[in-house]
Amino acid sequence: MKKILGIFALLVAVCVVTVLFSDRFLTAYNLENVIRRTALFGIISIGVAFVIITGGIDLSIGSLICLVGCGLPWLLSVKGLPLPVALAAVLGASLLIGLAHGLLITKLRLQPFVVTLCGLLLYRGLARGLTGDQTQGFGAAHDGLRWLATGKLAVPGLGGFGVPMPCVILLFVAIAAAVFLNHTIYGRYLLALGRNEQAARYSGIDTSHMILLAYVICSGLAGLGGTLFVLDVNSAQPVDFGNFYELYAVAAAVLGGCSLRGGEGAILGVVIGAALMQVLRNMITLTGLPTHIEFAVIGAVILVGVSADEVVKRLAAKRRAAREAVVG
Amino acid sequence: MNRSLARIPALLLVLLFAFVGCKKSDSGAGATPAAKKPRIAYVCNGVADFWSIAKVGAEKAGSDLSANVSVHMPTEGISDQKRIVEDLITRGVDGIAISPIDPVNQTDLLNKVAKQTKLITHDSDAPASDRLLYIGVDNYAAGRLCGALVKEALPNGGSIMIFIGRLEQDNAKRRRQGVIDEVLGRPHNPTNYDVPGTVLKNDKYTILGTLTDQFDRVAGKAHVEDTLSKHPDIGCMVGLFGYNPPLILEALKQAGKLGKVQVVAFDEDAATLQSIKDGNVHGTVVQNPYMYGYKSVELLLALQKGDKTVIPASKFIDIPARQIRKDNVEAFWSDLKIKLGKRD
């Protein structure tokens, strides 16, 4: 809990600064937008958090989002498959891809970096090949399905504010993930094997199966994310859809308290990490900063924030140590 | 672990040989007649539907004039384009038409290519290089046409936001500048440049800014949404790269503001054309990518045969842009569909 306090404080600080510079930040419309984007990125970030907790990494998320994001409208609009079949196909493919990653990593003992880097190249290439590099979209069709990404649940008494559907989905995913990680034996296994896989194996944990599960969860959520992304935007170009999103996901997970060395992570922190990045991007447009320095601003704010968090933590630790020395 | 890793390169090598082998035997079957045809390469600046239309034009010219035309769309920006051009030179082609991504800094590369083969530019020019000629639209003039549409859409004035993929390209800069100069009623001067991020206004119109998304569509749509948050009373949104107007429409639809905010577009995305029909987009300015492709191949073939009379004194062959509004969208769209074959 302490770990996510810093990132939460940074999120609040960025929100306060944005409110000070723009009276539009707190409008219902803007908050809905920011929440929807946070939810979309939050879902893929929770997925990669599971892999990072095991000490692994998944670089293929952006390409998998591309494969699913282009694949779903392609199957529906070009191939004319019925909706349930197309949905089952893309989500099933995501899970199978996760399974393949897991098997290559646990059985063939390939490095996660290598496996998922090849995935990064492979899935985007596959998406481009299947679609002939053509932009994919739903046109005016499938508004019912698109409601999952674009719709909102009205909250009475809040001046037209509604909770965006992706946020509802994120809520389910996050609660399930948090319960799994913190309140089931399997979650504890994951954290344990992330700290020290050998020790975990010697104490009787089937580490291979747990790692396999982490990759399946990661790719499954990336597939869900990709579906929601394309439902929201209604246009996916195979060559750049989801480009670099794995880095957004990994960044959100690490900002939220996951250690790249494995064994640590909190779902709430990951969601806050995802929110931080989306609020920063929103702030840049709302305050009228030029968009071409967007990434510079995001990078600088996060770096300063994380450094400040670390300094504060160290000072606190020093003070505690000093106090204990006096007491002792 | 080491052993299994070591097997991967070997496996890849086998696959590669198999793949190349297949390719060879493919082209081997038709090689005899094809070998005599001149080889023309048409290099684009990225992957887009716009280039798919140009590809159809280039290939049509290839079959009309019996040339081997290859179309290349770089996927990873400027370094990828350089690699493609270098490989084409290595392979040996009789002419290259290229849309340079960064004309100023690619001059060296272009000059090297010009020494080896016939080189022309299309879509975006590199005036400082040794290219023989440039085929394309005058993007500044096209921008002004787009600006005129904005004024039609907002006859009583109002605020305007411009959305574009990136501003590094010469054509993007000029297109945007044309819109700004026309809306603000400035005299014709293609060398103007207003820094993005400054608010520009005259007594009637306010141009709030220019937002670039670097081709990330999720970010492009987010920019539209954020603009609606910041300027709920905005009068008109202008999308200057082909994919921008559909993103604007998507965001307006979700905000329930379709038809309430004017939209002016560029290029001929299906969603844009449909929305012109439906009355949600005032109009669009279209280039003629089909003719870029066709003319590029035609002129390179003439040049390859030694005919230098095709080069005009200005070294610029204008394929003018056109305004599409509700009254001519139907005719334009059906013609486009015919050119693209059955594709909708």
pLDDT tens column, B279-294: 999 999 999 999 999 9
Contacts of B165 by beta carbon, 8 Å cutoff, 6+ apart: B172, B212, B213, B214, B215, B220, B240, B241, B243, B244
- Predicted confidence at residue B16, as pLDDT, reads 57
Q: Which of B230, B267, B268 to mutate to test the interface with A (most CBs of A within 10 A)?
A: B230
Q: Give residue B27's pLDDT.
A: 42
Q: Which residues of B touch A286 (CB under 8 A)?
A: 226, 229-230
* Contact with chain A for residue B4, Cβ under 8 A: yes
Res B22 pLDDT > 60: no
CA B244 to chain centre: 13
Look at residues A226, A225, A192, A223 and name the one whose alpha carbon lies nearest to residue A210.
A192
Q: How far apart are CA A38 and CA A43, in angstroms?
A: 8
Contact A288 B209 (CB under 8 A): yes
Q: Ranked by mean pLDDT, which of B48-52, B65-69, B98-102 comes out on top? A: B65-69
Q: Reduce the DSSP state of residue B192 to 3 states and report it.
A: coil
Query: For position B1, what pLDDT does the model report?
Result: 45
- Homologous superfamily (CATH) for B139-286: Response regulator (3.40.50.2300)
Are A33 and B226 inside 8 Å of each other by CB? yes
Q: Please name which of A2, A39, A33, A54 lies closest in space to residue A174, comparing C-alpha atoms.
A: A39
Task: Tell me the average pLDDT of chain B.
Answer: 88
The interface predicted TM-score (ipTM) is 0.77
- A259 in reach of chain B (CB within 8 A): no
CATH class held by domain B35-137+289-311: alpha beta
**Interchain CB contact of A133 with B (< 8 Å):** yes
What does the pLDDT average to over B112-117? 92
Q: C-alpha B189: how far from its chain's center?
A: 23
What digits encode the pLDDT tens for the residues A65-76?
999 999 999 999
Instruction: Please check the confidence at residue B34 and state whether its pLDDT lies above 70.
Output: no
As a whole number of angstroms, the distance between CA A178 and CA A181 comes to 5
Assigned token pair, B331 = 């005719």
Quickly tell me which residue has 């539209």 as its tokens: B224
DSSP secondary structure of A207-276: HHHHHHHHHHHHHHHHHHHHHHHHHHH--B-TTTTTTTHHHHHHHHHHHTT--TTSS---HHHHHHHHHH
First to last CA, chain B: 50
Q: Given an 8 Å threshold on Cβ–Cβ distance, is A239 in contact with B226?
A: no
Residue A197: which of A328, A106, A128 has the closest Cα?
A: A106
pLDDT of residue A3: 75
**Probe site for chain A from B214, B225, B234 (most A CB atoms < 10 A):** B225
Residues of A in contact with B5 (CB under 8 A): 110
Please classify residue B29 by burial: count the beta carbons closer than 10 Å to its beta carbon, then call 0-12 exposed, 13-18 middle and 19+ buried: exposed
Residue B306: phi, psi to the nearest 5? 90, 10
pLDDT given at position B200:
95
Q: Classify strands B262-266 and B68-72 as parallel, antiparallel or unpaired.
A: unpaired
- Band of pLDDT at residue B184, cut at 50, 70 and 90: very high
Mean pLDDT within B260-275: 95
Highest mean pLDDT among A227-236, B71-80, B141-150: B141-150
Nearest to B230 among A233, A286, A291 (CB): A286
Q: Is A117 within 8 Å of chain B by CB?
A: no
Per-residue pLDDT, B117: 94
Contact A285 B223 (CB under 8 A): yes
Cα A151 to Cα A173: distance, rounded to the nearest angstrom = 18
Q: How high does pLDDT run on average in chain A?
A: 92
Q: How far apart are CA A177 and CA A195, in angstroms?
A: 19
List the one residue out of B285, B287, B291, B267 whose CA is nearest residue B323. B285
Please report which helix (H) or strand (E) contains residue A305, including its range.
helix A294-327
- Minimum Cα–Cα distance from A134: chain B residue: B49
Confidence of residue B96 (pLDDT cuts 50, 70, 90): very high
Q: How high is the pLDDT of residue B271?
A: 93
> A204 is written with which tokens?
């009787």
CB B212 within 8 A of CB B196: yes
Phi, psi dihedral angles at B98 (to 5 degrees): -130, 145
Q: What is the pLDDT of residue A287?
A: 84
Worst-scoring range by mean pLDDT, A9-18, A28-37, A203-212, B8-17?
B8-17
Please state whether A97 falls in left (phi above 0), alpha (psi between -120 and 50) or beta. alpha
CA distance, residue B110 to nearest chain A CA (Å) = 25
Identical fold for domains B35-137+289-311 and B139-286, yes or no, is yes
pLDDT at A196: 92
Question: Which chain B residues have a beta carbon less than 8 Å from that of A110?
Answer: 1, 4-5
Residues 165-224, chain A: which have Cβ within 8 Å of B? none
Of A22, A134, A150, the CB nearest to B52: A134
The encoded tokens of residue A258 equal 């996951």
Measured between CA atoms, the residue of chain A closest to residue B218 is A233
CA distance A31 to chain B (A): 9
Q: Is A129 on the interface with B (CB under 8 A)?
A: no
pLDDT band at B20 (very low <50, low <70, confident <90, very high): low
Q: What class has domain A2-11+34-308?
A: mainly alpha
Most B-contacting residue of A292, A294, A295, A298 (CB-CB within 10 A), to test interface? A292
* pLDDT tens digits along B299-340: 999 999 999 999 999 999 999 999 999 999 999 999 888 877
When pLDDT is cut at 50, 70 and 90, the band that residue A35 belongs to is very high
Q: pLDDT at position A305, please? A: 83
Whether residue B35 has pLDDT greater than 60: no
Handedness of CA A273, A274, A279, A284 (dihedral sign): positive
Q: What's the pLDDT score for residue B15?
A: 58
Give the pLDDT confidence score for residue A1 in this predicted structure. 61
Q: Residue A326: its pLDDT value, please?
A: 82
Residues in CB range of B81: below 8 A, 6 or more apart: B43, B45, B74, B98, B100, B101, B106
Instruction: List B41's β-bridge partners, or say none.
Output: B70, B96
Question: Both tokens of residue A261?
Answer: 């060395």
How would DSSP label each residue in B133-189? -EEE--HHHHHHHHHHHHHHH-TT-EEEEEEES-SSSHHHHHHHHHHHHHHTT----
In tens, the pLDDT along A296-327 reads 988 898 888 888 888 888 898 899 899 888 87
**How much of chain A, in percent, has pLDDT values that exceed 70?**
99
Question: Between these two residues, B181 and A323, which has the higher pLDDT value?
Answer: B181
The domain limits of chain B are 35-137+289-311, 139-286
Q: What length is written for chain B? A: 344
Q: Any chain A CB within 8 A of the CB of B223? A: yes
Predicted confidence at residue B214, as pLDDT, reads: 86
The answer, for B226 touching chain A at a CB cutoff of 8 Å, is yes
Number of C-beta neighbours around residue A305 at 10 A: 19
